[in-house]
A and B are shown apart, each in its own frame.
Chain A
């Protein structure tokens, strides 16, 4: 275990790749895809944040190795994901960016019935007001104070 002059070594990169796909795995029930590290890293790179995130991952990995006394390659991904001490740190470091990336994937958005590519100019048809619902409200009379 050493310092982190370099963002992450090859072993860490492989671990992160596996980790990202495990955090949001393929869903056999709906066919929703897993998160892909290559795409996610491009997303981070476009934001100029890839190096920073890899560095933070490296710190997390080091923390887990210290805690468990074994090398990261010997630790199951599930343990990484569900380790209570790490979960908060994991979420802070990765979670926000991962959902930002993942929920922009067209296939995912299509599943959740978002308009693609954007809400304009299609618009939406919504349930209109059923005026009968207001009868009870109206029958109470004024509720504001007259001053």
Chain B
């Protein structure tokens, strides 16, 4: 292998796509290795009559259920929350719901404002230009004037909130609590390579309309037009270093299973908060006996997952709650900031989720043991389906060293690479926050007119937000990367995913992943020029 690429990106998901799209505007040779394939937009479940059933098989968010050739197993036996992901060009954004809020200013300074965890080495103000820049690629719908944020301008029109959203909005108003139309990575009108949204609904089975800003739709078309090389079916096993412990490329398995090496001046890992520490930990050598970047034993630690609870309210009237983009109606940031009287620090958001499809809803009733059998069966479904409003409680969990990703000593993927093992427990602060959140959600659902509420959490199959396992910081003793995402121990190796998060906020992370990735890409460009 004689060719040396300027920049090698590992992973074509949210972070990797943003790095690729940014660098493609410059005279830089960029290649990206991705273990999955490009999603076939014409063959997504929503184009088929039995579209719901795919959620239980090849479009299941759990890779241990999906078991596609591009998936690797993840041992989650010691976690109440199972990891969710999707391995393809676009990564987990192919199946995300498109909820796309920014972090709040205080999310970057939790130690300063609340005396816990650590501050990020950057501020909201420093990241704000990259949130803006990302909108060159990502369609962001919403509404200006949100009191939960500093000014955010030039948004596409919000996704319609629907009957259920309006019902809940009136309930929030009666409590005098904040709510706002959801920030959504959805083109509510024609935008770049996106088609306008037609409110299909099951965004998390992929969007056949091409309206959702999954990275295969938002960033990759631009990068590919600018000649970024995208090589699919390639699974990276480890980062390679020279005698100075500088990254010089990676070792990977190609589609046929042949092991290969590829060289680069700069290497970017963008494999999410589980995949990235897995590669770092597997990159053992005499120079890095505990894996790359791991001289302080922090790689894989501080895993944060956003424990999530569901609270449902059942109404007498039909809310059409099964219709429309699932994750993008309204959201409340009333309880984001700390309040001493609550008995915990930091907080949670409440996100209205449009109801699940018919098969998914009835399965959920069965799991909750509220589905009746026999003569009352039909009535038990009728009185709930499309009459149920759903609120998710997304809790800001705090970094804890014992919550971590390690290499499983036994489990391996199809290439023989050790699989990740996740160990996670809900901290006391998280438990108190979730219990408080469930109560508040019940209150607002009843205020909205619900006659019955059901709550359950943490919900197991919701581990989408994989954060903190290679955290950034100014101090190499207490962090894995610097404030640009470059690994302290390993020059020229960058991380561009939510592994670098210092704390988790209580909102979905994708907008922040992509803003950080663009900032990292800008840094790489500067370094390349110098």
Alpha-carbon separation in the docked complex, A129 to B182 (Å) = 11
- In the bound complex, CA of A143 to CA of B337 (Å): 9
Checking A96, A124, A127, A133 against B173 with a beta-carbon cut-off of 8 angstroms, the contacting residue is A133
Once the chains are docked, how many angstroms separate the CA of A119 from the CA of B369? 29
CB distance from B373 to the nearest CB of A (A): 5
Chain B residues positioned under 8 Å from A116 (CB to CB): 49
Indicate if the CB atoms of B161 and A121 lie closer than 8 Å: no
Q: For the side of the interface on B, what is the size category?
A: 35 or more
> Which residues A109-147 have CB closer than 8 A to chain B?
109, 112-114, 116-130, 133-134, 136-138, 140-147
Decide if A25 touches B377 in the complex (CB within 8 Å).
yes
The verdict on A126 contacting B374 (CB below 8 Å), with A99-B359, A100-B56, A114-B357 known, is no
How far, in angstroms, from A1 to B369 measured CA to CA in the complex? 31
Residue B136, interface by CB 8 Å: no
Q: With A25-B377, A81-B374, A143-B147 in contact, do A123 and B113 touch (Cβ < 8 Å)?
A: no
B198 within 8 A of A: yes
| Identity of the chain A residue whose Cβ is nearest the Cβ of B318 in the assembled complex | A113
Please give me the residue from chain A that is nearest to B324 by CB atom.
A126
Complex contacts, A133 vs chain B, CB 8 Å: 166, 169-170, 173
Q: Within 8 Å of chain A (Cβ to Cβ): is B327?
A: no
Q: Which residue of B lies closest to A30 (CB)?
A: B378
Partner of B160, one of A88, A118, A129, A144: A129
Q: What is the chain B residue whose CB lies nearest that of A23? A: B373
Inter-chain contacts of A117 with B (CB < 8 A):
48-49
- For B49, the chain A residues whose CB sits under 8 A away are 116-118
Contact between chains at A147 and B147 (CB < 8 Å): no
B162: chain A residues within 8 A (beta carbon): 126-127
- Residue B452 CB within 8 A of the other chain: no
How many residues of A sit at the interface, in one of the four size bands? Answer: 35 or more
Could you say which of A88, A123, A147 contacts B106, with CB atoms under 8 Å apart? A147
The answer to whether A144 touches B373, judged by C-beta atoms less than 8 angstroms apart, is no
Q: Does A22 reach chain B (CB closer than 8 Å)? A: yes
Say how far B350's CB is from chain A's closest CB, in angstroms.
Answer: 14
Q: Which of A96, A100, A120, A129 contacts B200 (CB 8 A)?
A: A120
Say if the beta carbon of B375 comes within 8 Å of chain A.
Answer: yes
| Distance A30 CA – B363 CA, assembled complex (angstroms) | 21
Complex: how many Å from CA A127 to CA B382? Answer: 22
Question: Can you list 17 contacts pairing A with B, beta carbon distance less than 8 Å?
Answer: A22-B374, A25-B375, A27-B378, A91-B369, A99-B371, A102-B362, A120-B200, A122-B198, A124-B324, A130-B166, A133-B166, A133-B169, A134-B143, A136-B176, A137-B178, A143-B148, A147-B113
Q: Which residues in B have some Cβ–Cβ distance to A below 8 Å?
A: 44-53, 56, 104-106, 108-109, 112-113, 123-124, 143, 145, 147-150, 158, 160-163, 165-166, 169-170, 172-173, 176, 178-181, 198-202, 208-209, 320, 322-324, 333-334, 336-337, 357-359, 362-363, 365-367, 369, 371, 373-375, 377-378, 382, 385-386
